[in-house]
């Protein structure tokens, strides 16, 4: 599913794969730390993109919350800001 703003989930999945490979290929421990950090940040953005897509498909916050063991309100509080932040990006940062 595409979005009018921010990177798509497909693009973020590709970036995450690249980030994980960078961890594996890193020459030094510090390079692995940097690559692992990038992978974590990309995984968080992927999660936001998938949640954005779920909301666009009219999946309720209650159902999303249940998937995370949260209430409807807990899911909204936890994920609304990351989804907004993702939508404010142009897809080139990463």
Per-residue pLDDT of the chain (94 residues; tens, 9 = 90+): 444 578 999 999 999 999 999 999 999 999 999 999 999 999 999 999 999 999 999 999 999 999 999 999 999 999 999 999 998 886 555 4
d(CA 77, CA 59): 16
**pLDDT for the residue numbered 79:** 98
Residue for token pair 């936890």 = 78
Number of H helices, E strands in the chain: 4, 0
């Amino acid at each position: 599913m595409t979005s009018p703003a921010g990177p798509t989930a497909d693009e973020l999945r590709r970036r995450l794969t690249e980030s994980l490979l960078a961890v594996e290929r890193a020459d030094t421990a510090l390079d692995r730390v940097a690559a692992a950090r990038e992978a974590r940040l990309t995984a968080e953005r992927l999660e936001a993109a998938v949640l954005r897509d779920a909301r666009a498909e009219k999946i309720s916050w209650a159902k999303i919350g249940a998937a995370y063991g949260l209430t409807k309100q807990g899911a909204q509080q936890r994920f609304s800001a990351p989804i907004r932040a993702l939508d404010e990006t142009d897809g080139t940062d990463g």
